Amino acid sequence: MRKPMLAGNWKMNKTRDEAIQFELAVADKLPKSVDCVVCAPAIILRDLVKRAPEGLKIGAQNMHEKESGAFTGEISPVMLKDVGVEYVIIGHSERRTYYNETDQKVNEKIKKALEFGLKPIVCVGETLEEREGNKTEAVLETQVTKALEGVEISNTEDVIIAYEPIWAIGTGKNADQNTAEEACSYIRGIVEKVQSKKVADEIRILYGGSVKVNNIKDYMQMPNVDGGLVGGASLKADDFVELCNKAI
Ligand code: PEP
């Protein structure tokens, strides 16, 4: 049985006070049967970890692949571990697009995250052009294979893959449940090929891309979708609570 996960990606939103208000508002309202996570801006992570209500886990949105060094402005896995963060998003399409995050970098980051006891939420997904050119499977194959190359997954709960078609992120044009299922099932097949059947059966695969309170249930009905990675709709406490409670 794979435990469902609902992970919010706040992106570059919320001040410290707004984030603390969010935590107060969701306290005692989150289901125990779902891993409920918010991935917040780095500067407020320590405050969120300190005040996190029961059932709310905290994640970062990115990390550098090195432990320390001359990388001005970057945040290392050691620092994330030090503030008590549990999860870290790796390879979000916005990082791939705007910050030149390559498959190679994604692979290095996953390995480093695991080395420091952080759980990576690894994002993969195709552009609209790639989908229309029937390249979705090839893109997913490359991204997943390269991401997991040489990665030792000893605990399958520690690595999460998020299928996030780029054309669905922040556009309001969500992939329908069958499209999401098809891609997540395909990704599970790649994981079986590059890791093992056990890892493929146990690893959680989320769908992300314009998930809202009114469509999360559609995805949760699909056998290969284990939850959602949610941007915009995770910002309001009430919506986040509803999303988590519907992700069962
Ligand atoms: C995301 O940022 O990962 C995302 C899926 O955003 P949205 O839910 O706003 O489409």
Given a cut of 90, whether residue 1 has pLDDT beyond it is no
Q: Give the closest residue to 240 by CA, choosing from 17, 2, 39.
A: 39
Query: What does CATH list as the number for 5-246?
Result: 3.20.20.70
Q: What value does the mean pLDDT of the chain take? A: 98
What is the structure's pLDDT at 233? Answer: 98
Q: Give the closest residue to 88 by CA, choosing from 184, 14, 195, 160.
A: 160
- The domains of the chain are located at 5-246
Alpha-carbon distance of 26 to 56, in angstroms, equals 8
Structure tokens at 238: 């009430």
Pick the residue whose CA is nearest to atom 1 on ligand 1.
Answer: 231
Alpha-carbon distance of 174 to 137, in angstroms, equals 18
Distance 170 CA to ligand 1 centre (A): 5
Q: Which residue has the tokens 């556009």?
A: 171
What is the structure's pLDDT at 231? Answer: 98
Reported as a single tens digit per residue, the pLDDT across 8-59 is 999 999 999 999 999 999 999 999 999 999 999 999 999 999 999 999 999 9
With a pLDDT cut of 90, the percent of the chain lying above it is 100
130 is an active site residue: no
Mean pLDDT of 161-182: 97
For a mutational test of ligand 1's pocket, the pick from 169, 206, 225, 234, i.e. the residue with the most ligand atoms closer than 8 A to its C-beta, is: 169
Structural element, H or E, at residue 208: strand 204-208
> 75: pLDDT confidence band, cut at 50, 70 and 90?
very high
Any atom of ligand 1 within 6 Å of the Cβ of 228: no
Q: Are 60 and 85 in contact (CB under 8 A)?
A: yes
Given a cut of 90, whether residue 159 has pLDDT beyond it is yes
